[in-house]
Amino acid sequence: MNEPPAPRRAIFLDRDGTLIHDPGYLADPEGVVLLPGVADGLRALARAGFVFVIVTNQSGISRGRYTVADYDKVAARVVEELAVHGVELHAAYFCPYHPEGNTPPFNTDHPERKPLPGMWLRAAEEHGLELATSWSIGDGERDVVAGKRAGTRGILLAGGRDKWPLPVVGPYDADFVARDFREAVLFILRAEGQPLPDAPGAAYPEPTPA
């Protein structure tokens, strides 16, 4: 009898403000711009054995700022931009719901809307992901809270904030607060026992074989 495949470890990634520039309610694929350090960091994490899952709230759909079709065009461009840099996206989930929206049927709350962990749980079930050995990265507390509720470890990107977040010592606190995506990746590599670059800005090394 064949053994079932081993569960995958994933990096759950917020999209806007984490992977790409966030102009607010992005509806035009021409506005997709990868943030500094994202491509190099994702390649390093892929070499360390992780797959990538985007989990993004898209309340602009509920608010009537753009349509699901507009979202799909932007999402396709994100996949294209990552592929140009040698990064493969394993899956992407979005939540178009918001209780303050004005566009049925999306003008309601939903268990997949962050900070609830619905997108994580669905991804884990559909793709055989092991949440306890996975990580979540996002630029908002809701990203960390949803990831922690799902059972992953969480990193908050705080470089673009006006104020550095203060720890409140709770069960949904970030495991690490990073100044940028590169620092988040270095923290994960260190936690996973992988080698680190010798100097700031240096290329990520190949991982240590298990």
Position 155 scores a pLDDT of 96
**Is there a catalytic annotation at residue 173?**
no
Is residue 22 part of the annotated active site? The answer reads no
What mean pLDDT is predicted for residues 110-134? Answer: 96
**Cis peptide bond N-terminal to 171, omega within 30:** no
Residue 127's CB is within 10 A of a number of other CB atoms, namely 14
User: For residue 68, is it within any domain?
Assistant: yes
Say what the pLDDT of residue 91 is.
97
Residue 33: domain span: 9-191
Tell me, what's the pLDDT at 194? Answer: 85
The number of residues making up the chain comes to 210
At 166, list the tokens: 């203060």
H or E segment at 13? strand 9-13
The reply to whether 170 falls in a domain is: yes
Is 4 part of any domain?
no
Predicted confidence (pLDDT) at residue 210 exceeds the cutoff of 50: no
Q: Is residue 202 part of a domain?
A: no
d(Cα 142, Cα 113) in Å, to the nearest integer? 9
CATH of the domain at 117: 3.40.50.1000
pTM, 2 dp: 0.90
Residue 138 lies in a domain: yes
Question: Is 127 contained in some domain?
Answer: yes
Ranges 20-34, 123-137, 183-197: which has the least confidence: 183-197
Over residues 146-154, mean pLDDT: 96
Nearest Cα to Cα of residue 143 among 114, 100, 167 = 114
Is residue 18 in some structural domain? yes
Q: In total, how many domains does the chain have?
A: 1
pLDDT digits 0-9 by tens, 6-53: 668 999 999 999 999 999 999 999 999 999 999 999 999 999 999 999
pLDDT at 156 > cutoff 50: yes
Q: Specify which residues 94 forms β-bridges with.
A: 56
Looking at residue 6, its pLDDT comes to 64
Kind of pairing between the strands at 50-57 and 91-95: parallel
207 located within any domain: no
